[in-house]
Structure 1
Amino acid sequence: MYQVFISGLPYTASENDVQSLFEDCGEILSIKLPRYQDSNRLLGYGHITFSDSEAIQKALALNGTQLGGRYIDVKEAKGTQPQKPNVPPPDCLTIFVKNLSYDLNADQIGDSFRPCGKVANVRMVYNTVSKNFKGFAYIDFEDHQSVIKALQMNGKKVHGRQVQVDFDVKRPKAGYRYQPKQVEQQNKYNQEYQEIQKKKIKKEKAVQKVKKIKNFAETQKQISAQRNKQQI
């Protein structure tokens, strides 16, 4: 395996930034840059796999090169890094989708993947400060075969953007919930929103029931008062 290990990457760098820096070294087979699950920012290191050893030597010559204001380290990879399995485990019901259009809502995302199978829930990820959608989301399906089908959408366009799809076996953090300002736009695939709506409807029914009882009591009181007047 012709692979180099790079570190010191800017957390805001993208795969395109890394590819642009190393593309003149030779044919790049893959670029793997681990990211934080909650923020999607780079961890600062990664691996680049080339097609031949000559490309490795050219890549090593870039050691100390600046990228995004930081000096990066380039070394030949030692051994094989543990890789995520290519096939999702049988109990996996979730996919992770990134590079989504920023103006999408949960219903639009869910509808895009509905041909793969019944979508149970869509969790969009928002910026904690601006509250704007960050372009990636988790989609839960009701069965495993839907996940298999959804993975085949990797590299295909969704609402005009080429998305990246992978399976996910980790439980997302609580921050992957809907934002109140988006509620009116999304409800079909948002379990949390649906639960809130159920509670809201239940509360409204209870209020209406109390009002009905009060109105009935008031009506009975008026009828009773009218009868007393007639008797007098």
Structure 2
Amino acid sequence: MSQQEDKFQRYATEYDPVKIGSIDGTDTIPHDRAILRALESEYIPNKSVRGDPRHTVFVARLHPRTTQDTLISEFSDCGKILRCRLVKDIVTGKSKQYALIEFERSSEVDRALQKHKEYIDNTEVIVEREVGRVMKGWKPRRLGGGFGGNKNSGQLRFGCRDRPFKRPIKVGEDRRD
């Protein structure tokens, strides 16, 4: 086993926009404008947010009409919910279409992650662990970071549970197994 294989991790532990934008986590230069924006941006997590980030899930791509009560009823079968915060625009009061749900135990978070490809209000949602207060260097999607994206936008991000890194391909190596 080579040194590079020893260092290979399927999931990111520290947020580096260039690595996160890379399929295998080995890129050294940015390949799109969003990554450049993430490199130049500064993000300071909200210090007033309460709760244990290790017991919290991030639910995204919610329908604009999804309510806090709907989220509580959808996720209550995973365990005891301590807090549910549907994030809203401070000016308009409209949903920003994501929420943070804090559970009593981390085992309940694992159960909620099993709902990963669930539909809520006829809309497919994303359920991930909260990383904003846990992962060093985290940049949200609005600043060019995040793990989300789609093929059409050209802004795929890797290193998370949904899209883990792929093992680097060794160029010039004999591939007979």
User: What TM-score bracket applies, with the shorter chain setting the length?
Assistant: 0.3 to 0.5
Name the one with the larger helix percent. Answer: 1
With the length of structure 1 as denominator, give the TM-score of the two structures.
Answer: 0.37
Q: Does 1 or 2 have the higher relative contact order (CA < 8 Å, sep 6+)?
A: 2
With the length of structure 2 as denominator, give the TM-score of the two structures.
Answer: 0.47
